[in-house]
Amino acid sequence: MFLRKGNNHFFIFLSIPNMLDILAKTVAEYDFDVYPVDTCPLSKQGWDMRSNKLKCNKTHGYHCVPNKHLTSLTEFCYPKGVRIPFEHGNCLELAGRGTLNQVSCKGTFSNGCPETFYFSQDLYKHPKCLAINTELRCFDADVECIYYRMLENRTEKVNTNTTVNNGKEDADYGKRVNECASPIATILGVLLGLMMFINLCLVFYLIDKKKQEKRGVNEMQPDKLKMHIGEEHALTNDNDAGC
């Protein structure tokens, strides 16, 4: 599907499923047949040709206006007649279940807002009321609406990118932590094993030292006994000599 934006043309391709989806939603929203179109007629001749194509009549007059969401232009045979009067300073939309509704453009349009009273069948005389940005859901001439919608979209995009980047950073950080943790765990394991080995060696050393000390004490006791006996024997001899 191709869409027209103001005096400049730009083309947006919509796949067949998207077109069918728009058509299904449009039909379901209204109490009579409504058809999405790329553009609305911008002349009386074009208006009459489309009216004949849809087989509209004096009781069901041909109209072409934006839908209530500003996501598509729509054409239909309006069951409430052909010449519906509307005040100046307003464009039109198909609202509710199928009612032509005024949309104020006074003070919001940069240009092209109807300045005089008009009938709905003459809406083609006010092309700015038939030029919409379906992506931003704004009239092309409503600069303020376009600005704020673009700002909203940009904010959403930034938030989405931030979330994605944060998720990627978290994943990278987790990967780096795992990569660092692997050699650290290996080093800690080696150190722990070394400490256990040193502790075991120290324990065996202390046990062996204690055994050696005990063995030395046992070997010294007979020598001390012999010395003690020798001293007593010498003392006895001295006493005998004195007598």
Per residue, what are the HEC states of the chain?
CCCEECCEECCCCCCHHHHHHHHHHHHHHCCCCEEEECCCCCCHHHHHHHHHHHCCCCCEEEEEEEECCCCCEEEEEECCECCCEECCCEEEEEECCCEEEEEECCCCECCCCCCCCEEHHHHHHCHHHHCEECCCCEECCEHHHHHHHHHHHHHHHHHHHHHHHHHHHHHHHHHHHHHHHHHHHHHHHHHHHHHHHHHHHHHHHHHHHHHHHHHHHHHHHHHHHHHHHHHHHHHHHHHHHHC
The model's pTM: 0.56
85 or 216, which is more confident? 85
Is 184 within a domain? no
Is 42 within a domain? yes
The 10s digit of each residue's pLDDT in 79-104 is 999 999 999 999 999 998 999 999 99
Query: Domain limits at 51?
Result: 4-141
Is 116 within a domain? yes
Under 8 Å between Cβ of 35 and 26:
yes
Is 172 within a domain? no
Is 91 within a domain? yes
pLDDT band at 27 (very low <50, low <70, confident <90, very high): low
What is the distance, to the nearest Å, from the Cα of residue 154 to the centroid of all Cα atoms in its chain? 13
Is 44 within a domain? yes
Is 170 within a domain? no
Is 124 within a domain? yes
The 10s digit of each residue's pLDDT in 223-241 is 555 665 666 555 555 555 5
Number of domains, the chain: 1
With 0-12 / 13-18 / 19 or more C-beta atoms within 10 angstroms meaning exposed / middle / buried, residue 5 is: middle
Q: Is the pLDDT of residue 3 over 50?
A: no
